[in-house]
Structure 1
Amino acid sequence: MDFLTVLGLAAATITTISFLPQMFKTWQTKSAKDVSLVTLITFITGIFLWLIYGIYLQSLPIILANAVTLIFNLIILWLKIKYR
């Protein structure tokens, strides 16, 4: 693996795991009142587009980061709707 791929994977890992605290907090407290629905939906749309872009470029860091981030944020969206 070249340096840029490793750099991309490191950046992808850090930005992706940054959503875990929000997901766990929402799950534990069963409250998502402080999570903006509009922001969440807008972000999910952008992440989905980044995923398509990464697939088109065949860029592993972009694909992995955005696929996992999309899953995490879809879980947060589900919790937001569930605990409304």
Structure 2
Amino acid sequence: MSMNTEIAIGILGAILSSLSFLPQVLKIWKTKSANDLSLPTILLLAANAATWLTYGMLKDAMPLAITNAIMLSMLLIIIFFKYKFRKNKK
């Protein structure tokens, strides 16, 4: 496999990973509901993204760091919406 092919695959993977939670963020924003989402799952995904972000920064792998920074941002938005739009507000 040529270096250009590897780079193209890496860029495509980074774009897809970065955008993977965008449809969920938009749906929550539109419906004002995140009740069907599992908070433990979202928290684990956020911890995963934070870990890979840290690893990317430590290894000076900016594509990895940027991808996970975007993913972590979207997951934090989902967590925020999960609390903001909860049905049983106290």
Whether TM-score is above 0.5 comes out as yes
CA distance in 2, matches of 1:6, 1:57: 21
Per the TM alignment, residue 10 of structure 1 is displaced from its structure 2 partner at its CA by: 1.7
Instruction: Report the 3-state secondary structure (helix = DSSP H, G, I; strand = E; otherwise coil) of the residue aligned with 1:7.
Output: helix
Match of 2:54 among 47, 52, 75: 52
Higher helix share: 1
The alignment status of 1:8 with 2:13, answered yes or no, reads no
Per the TM alignment, residue 34 of structure 1 is displaced from its structure 2 partner at its CA by: 1.1
Tell me the matched-pair count: 83
The alignment status of 1:19 with 2:11, answered yes or no, reads no
Q: CA RMSD in A?
A: 1.2
Runs of 4+ in 1 over 4 A off after TM superposition: none
Instruction: Report the 3-state secondary structure (helix = DSSP H, G, I; strand = E; otherwise coil) of the residue aligned with 2:58.
Output: helix
CA contact (8 A) 1:5 1:61 kept: no
Q: TM-score, normalised by structure 2?
A: 0.85
Instruction: Report the 3-state secondary structure (helix = DSSP H, G, I; strand = E; otherwise coil) of the residue aligned with 1:58.
Output: coil
CA distance in 2, matches of 1:83, 1:23: 12
CA distance in 1, matches of 2:66, 2:54: 11
Which of structures 1 and 2 has the larger relative contact order (alpha carbons within 8 angstroms, sep 6+)? 1
Per the TM alignment, residue 5 of structure 1 is displaced from its structure 2 partner at its CA by: 4.2
Cα displacement string for residues 18-67 of structure 1 (whole angstroms, at most 9, x for unaligned residues): 21110000000000011110000111011100000000111122011000
Instruction: Report the 3-state secondary structure (helix = DSSP H, G, I; strand = E; otherwise coil) of the residue aligned with 1:64.
Output: helix
Q: TM-score, normalised by structure 1?
A: 0.90
Residue identity matched to 1:38: P
Percent same amino acid among aligned pairs? 37
